[in-house]
Structure 1
Amino acid sequence: MRKRPARQPFPEHLPRERVVEPAPTACHCCGGHRLRKLGEDITETLEVVPRQWKVIQHVREKFTCRDCEAISRAPAPFHATPRGWAGPGLLAMILFEKFGQHQPLNRQAERYAREGVP
């Protein structure tokens, strides 16, 4: 069985934008409205605004139903690539530089590393 590689966290110096997804209003099992916050899942996506890097945090709060003890939360946000961490703007920039500007991926990676994004 292969061990999955661990993804490195994004650098702490990058600004974070926190987007809180709307929480469920009723239990998906019993329809009860007595929900209590249990925790939250945070999915980070690396995005680039022309020559400015930022990390967008999509927060999905978890709630537990007081009646049936089921856990409810909002659906996961859409990603351009499954289980991916790159946002659509970053993917567009990488593809344009590779195919439009004929910039190899290793040179792009070196430039991004100089800008503080490994």
Structure 2
Amino acid sequence: MILDCSILPDDPDELKRIICELQESHAAEVCLLQKQVRHLYDKLFGRKSEKSRYGEESPQLALFDMPEPDPDATPEAPVEVEKHTRRKKGRKPLPDNLPRVEIIHDIDEQEKICHCGAELSRISEEVSEKLDIIPAVIQVVRHIRPKYSCKHCENAAEKGPTVKIAPVPVQLLPKAIASCGLMAHILTAKFVDSLPFYRQERQFDRLGADIFRFIRLKRTLFHEEPLFST
């Protein structure tokens, strides 16, 4: 086959013959390349367990390879399925154990009068529930212990003044500013909710708590200061 364009013949018939040979050669090469590509795709993405209906070397799979019905097989009996009612999907109702606060959005009294002059009657109502939360509130619990003394015994030198007062309530950490409820809140946030102490300090700071005293409380929890005063 002539590949050099500078030595092509001048005869038109010879040129047509060369062009036809080139077309046939290119068509054969294209067909071969297409087969190789199909074979490669079958090897990469085809099912390894399936076998071709036309032989192992052919990448073409059977399109209508359905099993023929067995004439000796007995027909299967029909199976009855019980009717069922599909539950409508919707929002899950809020728990009944949560307290409810009712807010009534009513129309004006003037709108309760019909155009005929009669008063409208309340026939029903529409209720929609929204989940709300009350933010944390810091408060100070004052433990007041009144003192009592006997005015008649104030001048008695032999027994001295008589003063009575209630004992100090039992505390988790003596002389600490934190109550049992605050201690439980701090420990739960730290060891259950994985909330670091520095983030709790920011929360208490927004609520108006004393950050310095809170830091001392944290040190007390981790034995950086003595648990009990001596």
- Normalised TM-score (structure 2): 0.28
Number of equivalenced pairs: 70
Q: 2:139 corresponds to which residue? A: 54
Percent of aligned pairs sharing the same letter:
33
In the alignment, structure 1 residue 91 sits paired with structure 2 residue 91 = no
2:201 maps to which of 95, 100, 109: 109
**C-alpha distance in 2, partners of 1:86/1:93?**
10
**C-alpha distance in 2, partners of 1:85/1:112?**
14
Q: Which has the larger radius of gyration?
A: 2
Give the letter aligned to residue 142 of structure 2.
Answer: Q
Q: Write out per-residue CA displacement over residues 23-59 of structure 1, whole angstroms, 9 at most, x where no aligned residue.
A: xxxxxxxxxxxxxxxxxxxxxxxxxx97122111111
Which protein has the bigger helix share?
2
Q: Secondary structure at the match of 1:83?
A: coil
Q: 1:40 corresponds to which residue? A: none
- Normalised TM-score (structure 1): 0.53
Whose relative contact order is higher, 1 or 2, with alpha carbons under 8 Å and at least 6 apart?
1
Q: Which runs of no fewer than 5 residues in structure 1 stay unpaired?
A: 1-48
**How many angstroms does 1:70 deviate by?**
2.2
Runs of 4+ in structure 1 deviating by more than 4 angstroms, as ranges, are: none
Is the 2:138–2:208 Cα contact (8 Å) retained in structure 1?
Answer: no
**C-alpha distance in 2, partners of 1:96/1:81?**
17
CA 1:111–1:58 in structure 2 vs 1: closer, same or farther (change >3 Å)? same
Q: Secondary structure at the match of 1:56?
A: coil
**C-alpha distance in 1, partners of 2:208/2:198?**
15
Which protein has the bigger strand share?
1
CA RMSD of aligned residues (A): 1.9
After superposition, where does 1:64-83 map in structure 2 within 5 Å? Answer: 64-65=149-150, 66-67=152-153, 68=159, 69-83=161-175
Q: Secondary structure at the match of 1:107?
A: helix
CA 1:78–1:50 in structure 2 vs 1: closer, same or farther (change >3 Å)? farther
Q: Which runs of no fewer than 5 residues in structure 2 stay unpaired?
A: 1-133, 154-158, 211-230
